[in-house]
Amino acid sequence: MARILVTSALPYINGVKHLGNLVGSMLPACAYARFMRLRGREVLYICATDEHGTPAELAAAKAGLPVAEYCARMHQTQKALGEGFRLSFDWFGRSSSGRNHALTQHFAARLHAEGLIDEVSTRQVYSPADGRFLPDRYVEGTCPNCGYDRARGDQCENCTKQLDPTDLLNPRSAISGATDLEVRETKHLFLRQSALKERLAEWIGSRHGWPVLTTSIAKKWLNDGEGLQDRGITRDLDWGVPAQFEGAPWTGMDGKVFYVWFDAPIEYIAATAEWADARGHGEQGWRRWWREDDGAGDVRHVEFMAKDNIPFHTLSFPATLMGSGEAWKLADFIKGYNWLTYEGGKFSTSQGRGVFMDQALEILPSDFWRWWLLANAPETADTDFTWAAFQSGANKDLADVLGNFVSRVTKFCRSKFGETVPEGGEYGAEEAALAAELQGRLDAMAAAMEAVEIRRAAAELRAAWVAGNEYLQRAAPWATFKTDPAAAAATTRCALNLMRLYGIVSRPFIPDAADAMLRALGLDPEAEARWPESAAAALNALPAGAAFTVPDNLFAKIEDSTREALEAQFSGAS
């Protein structure tokens, strides 16, 4: 498939995201998209802020702002932080967009036409103290499944069990803390997911190579207990996509909006349409990515998300698409991630535990964070972030291996041959062996990225950096220069070519440093952004006489005193 649509979980609008949110979806999606662009694929990476539901209303109330204004401000904040981390979105939209309103209402009407929407009188939590119904996250309490005492009314973040507010033990209002809650009758729309169980099971069974984490969670929700449940898709809220609209096939839904988990995934389609609109591509410009009857058959959809989002993307969103009776493209690959923990515990905004995206960029450039997080991505198990591990990984991999190589090569060449690629000498057995080793590493890295195994790809990239250092140590041009300047020139020329190669293949992981290496060699990073056809050819790419400059130190080491200060600052200790 020539074209690839990449999506990552939509970050909630209710504040700056922490490093666990970053590595759980957006960052690996970016690395994958960057790699596929290097491979010459037509890639569209779509994301957006998730702006509806109770998190937005609660955060806005806490900030003392109207919810629409709060969301607009926070969207700009999250967009800027994405740019700071060099997340290569082709479009970063908003789920509150007019496009998403229209599409969400379209899907609801289509599902109703297919007999998959029921109007159900339900018993909902009502708070006399707040004078309103309390949908999902407006209710907190104890999870009946695992006993977690801060479970939300839609899902327990501890055990990921999907809940209704009435399921919670010892419930309380998330607005006022009131516990004198009542249960009253109200009418809502329900998506008959249970009617689609067999089709969903068949579809999931037809997906090959999915991570065990993804398939195990999907099958658990399909088959555990009473199996896949019908799900309410409206809520008693003011902020969201109105459930009563012109042409709606129902009445009596005034004052209700669609549930955030119904409209949020639809934003992927809406954001694609917004991207097409912004570029003047028209309707066909987005339909060719999403509609099987309009050319989307040759598109590969790859989704990235943390494990708490997996049920909605393996079941609820596919149910919406297939249940509509229209030819929508379904996901081909869903990459699920475990948790990133912080020093053995959870990240906590209220307690000041852990590092959030804005804080991280104030401490160090984005490449430090990108590298460590991707090299330690929680793919098969939870990963614990510790400052000691972060310091060790950054210093050893970035400063001692890659940064040291670039510094040694460029400074040696400047001192002995000037600031041009030296001529003279011939490549020999050492260079042939280096090319063979690099080819194996690059092939393995590419295979890992194609399989969306980011940690394995990072390990192969680091091994390629190590190979360059070992080559330089064996060839020792600083020693051979005294007796055989031509041989030293050939070694140095090979090493400068190797620096160019690193600048290309490192781009998915550390884009700023990769571009700095290429610019130091007088090259345009965008023009060089093509995966090398062969390592041997790459070692001969720079012509003798080409000018270069010695770049600034790519990666400064993190000192012990700095680490200790950061440990104390983000410990959550009062």
Instruction: Please check if 413 is assigned to a binding site.
Output: no
Instruction: Please check if 349 is assigned to a binding site.
Output: yes
Domain 3-104+261-369: CATH superfamily, name plus number: HUPs (3.40.50.620)
Predicted confidence band of residue 573 (pLDDT cuts 50, 70, 90): low
**Mean pLDDT value across residues 433-445:** 98
Instruction: Please check if 159 is assigned to a binding site.
Output: yes
Q: With 60 as the cut, is the pLDDT of residue 446 above it?
A: yes
Q: With 90 as the cut, is the pLDDT of residue 2 above it?
A: no
Both tokens of residue 305? 């998300």
Q: What is the mean pLDDT of the chain?
A: 95
Both tokens of residue 267? 């934003």
CATH domain 114-235 topology? Methionyl-trna Synthetase; domain 2 (2.170.220)
Instruction: Please check if 143 is assigned to a binding site.
Output: yes
pLDDT tens-digit map of 339-366: 999 999 988 776 778 999 999 999 999 9
Structural domain boundaries in the chain: 3-104+261-369, 114-235, 392-538
Q: What single-letter DSSP state applies at residue 229? A: P
**Mean pLDDT value across residues 146-162:** 87
CATH code, residues 392-538: 1.10.730.10
Q: What angle is formed at CA 247 by the lines to CA 246 and CA 248, rounded to 5 degrees?
A: 95
Task: Give the range among 11-25, 128-142, 549-563 with minimum mean pLDDT.
Answer: 128-142
Question: Could you check whether 3-104+261-369 and 392-538 share the same CATH topology?
Answer: no
Q: With 60 as the cut, is the pLDDT of residue 574 above it?
A: no
Task: Give the range among 173-182, 310-319, 532-541 with minimum mean pLDDT.
Answer: 173-182
Q: Is residue 83 a contact partner of residue 153, using CB atoms and an 8 Å limit?
A: no
Our separate counts of H helices and E strands in the chain read: 22, 16
Predicted confidence band of residue 226 (pLDDT cuts 50, 70, 90): low
**Mean pLDDT value across residues 120-147:** 89
Instruction: Please check if 47 is assigned to a binding site.
Output: no
What's the predicted TM-score (pTM) here? 0.93
Q: What angle is formed at CA 257 by the lines to CA 254 and CA 259, rounded to 5 degrees?
A: 150
Predicted confidence band of residue 1 (pLDDT cuts 50, 70, 90): low
386 in helix, strand or coil? coil
Of 186 and 335, the structure prediction assigns the larger pLDDT to 335
